[in-house]
Structure 1
Amino acid sequence: MTGSDDSQSVVVDIDDDTDPKACAVRPLSLASSTETLRDTFRDAQVYISEHIGINWRSLSNHLPGKRLTEVQLDCIVEENRLVADRAMKMLVQWKQLNGSKANIERMAKGLDACGQKKIARRVREMGL
């Protein structure tokens, strides 16, 4: 894991006749699956931001959970010229507001609710 201080020590007792290949240290599956989920979620955010277009604001009003305020959405508009950047910033802030409850399925539900069925289908496929 690059850029992380989550290093762990592993002590392996090797006899002279132990096959060195049997002692290969593999990353913890929980850490790997957490990173995979995080990467998949980020990929879904990127995909949505690249395809939602001017409907990003409608999506923000249909995402389940805590919603961004109109003031927050206005600030996103002021700070980001490109529509894709606005969409990404909104999705990042929505994730921050909702923590672990912000997931791919909830993003897909928001997309369905605002009429973006094709994007929702693709996002669900990414989560499989």
Structure 2
Amino acid sequence: MNVQEFVKNAITEIAAGVAEARDGLAEYGASAGSDKVYGYTKDNKILTDGQGRTVTLVEFDVALTQADSKDTKGSIGVFLGSFGAGSQGASHGETSSHSRIKFSVPIVLPGDGQQQV
């Protein structure tokens, strides 16, 4: 899996999960997502978009591994902990390099459109 696919899938699944959680929480009078909240935060760092919806920063810390071997083409993949999504060579004479990238993506999570107080 390349970085573009990983980020796209992760953000899509986060938003879908929040939307499903919102539906399940409604019967308990609870909520999840980007409804506006009021109150004190440590550094007063509540971000909003142009429509006043709360923005959540999804933070990524991605390990990239590139492998080259005599018998296969070089490949690059995203590997998370002990789980990997990418191509790994299994031949002898393999060389690999590892890199890490950290970044944040601002998203507006699903909300019901009502402001919470």
- Given the two structures, how large is their TM-score scaled by the length of structure 1? 0.26
Higher relative contact order (CA 8 A, sep 6+): 2
Looking at secondary structure, tell me which structure has more helix per residue. Answer: 1
Looking at secondary structure, tell me which structure has more strand per residue. Answer: 2
